[in-house]
Amino acid sequence: MNILITSNFKKYYKTYIDFVDHYWINYFEKKNYVFYQLPNSKKISEKILRTINNVDLIILPGGNDVIKKDKYTKTRLLVEKNTISYGLKKNIPILGVCRGMQVINNFFGGKIHRINGHMKKNHDIYMKKNIFGKSKHNVNSYHNYGINIISKSKKFNILATDKDNNIEMFKHKKRKIYGVMWHPERANNFNILNKIIKLLMK
């Protein structure tokens, strides 16, 4: 499988670096997947999207808060929205993880809201459909913003919520686009991530 994944970024000495964390790299290595990292550059990323072929899956990973106003956050958001448009045009499945789910919701007209108690915490989620073998799961959580029923784009069906009805997983009603608010790539095993990707590739 060939995967296109967008980049997170962080400050590094007097500049910034783009990166894909090793949770993802370890997963790709274990599954023998090929991945292409899309940089946070409008010009370069657009050139890559014009020339790349044979992409099977797009992943928008976690990272910085979407609402920040610095130029790096704005550039990443632009690159990721362009990547979603590319996926829609080419009919490529898309997975958004944490921040990536927020970006997808925003792209389709939804909003995000401030959320408490979801940064570096574990909590239960409740499945609307029993797609992972049981109705309740304990998941990790690393986000300051979330999506609720009011802020969710109307293009998506809810697949999981937390106890406060914050949305933890959704699926586009017509497209192969999924979003999850936790980080399945950081779990002790990749069972749930494997099942999500299997759903996307059906």
Task: Identify which of 35, 156, 69, 45 has the alpha carbon closest to the alpha carbon of residue 107.
Answer: 156
* pLDDT higher than 90, residue 68: no
> Domains in the chain, please, with CATH?
2-201 (3.40.50.880)
How much is the average pLDDT of 153-157? 97
Catalytic residue among 80, 98, 118, 172: 98
Distance CA 202, CA 134 (A): 21
Catalytic residue among 118, 137, 172, 183: 183
183 is catalytic: yes
H helical segments located in 57-186: 71-90, 99-107
From start to end of the chain, where are the E strands? Answer: 2-6, 8-12, 15-19, 34-38, 57-60, 94-97, 113-114, 119-127, 136-142, 145-146, 156-161, 167-172, 177-180
Q: Spell out the residues 6+ positions from residue 14 whose beta carbon is closer than 8 angstroms to its own.
A: none
Global pTM reads 0.96
Q: Which two tokens stand for residue 141?
A: 């959580």
Q: How confident is the model at residue 130 (pLDDT cuts 50, 70, 90)?
A: confident
* pLDDT higher than 90, residue 133: no
Determine the pLDDT at residue 179: 98
143 is catalytic: no
Task: Identify which of 45, 46, 3 has the alpha carbon closest to the alpha carbon of residue 24.
Answer: 3
- Strands 34-38 and 2-6 turn out to be parallel
Q: pLDDT of 1-16, one tens digit each?
A: 999 999 999 989 999 9
Determine the pLDDT at residue 47: 97
123 is catalytic: no
Distance CA 152, CA 135 (A): 22
Q: How confident is the model at residue 155 (pLDDT cuts 50, 70, 90)?
A: very high
Q: How confident is the model at residue 67 (pLDDT cuts 50, 70, 90)?
A: confident
* pLDDT higher than 90, residue 117: no
